[in-house]
A = this chain, B = another copy of it.
Amino acid sequence: MAQVTLNVQGMSCNHCVNAVEKAVRGAGGQAKVDLPNGKVEVEFDEGKVQLGAIKEAIEDQGYDVV
């Protein structure tokens, strides 16, 4: 399993936390959001999921991965 911490801009409330976590699950990973610091810790199986797909899933929800 790979663990990567992403900086994500635009998350403002618990609805956003849920949206990001759900998006990452949909892309095949797991996410833990640190809302005050704008960070998302993602965990995924490198053999099955690409980090790019996870970033894209987050961006599709309207947030910027920086």
Contact = CB atoms under 8 A, between A and B. Distances in A.
A55 to B, nearest CB: 20
Contacts of A15: 13, 15-16, 19
A15 B11 CA distance: 11
How many identical subunits does the complex contain? 2
A12 interface: yes
Contacts of A62: 14
Interface in A1-52: 10, 12-16, 19
A20 to B, nearest CB: 11
Given A12-B12, A15-B15, 8 more contacts: A10-B13, A12-B13, A13-B13, A13-B15, A13-B16, A14-B62, A15-B16, A15-B19
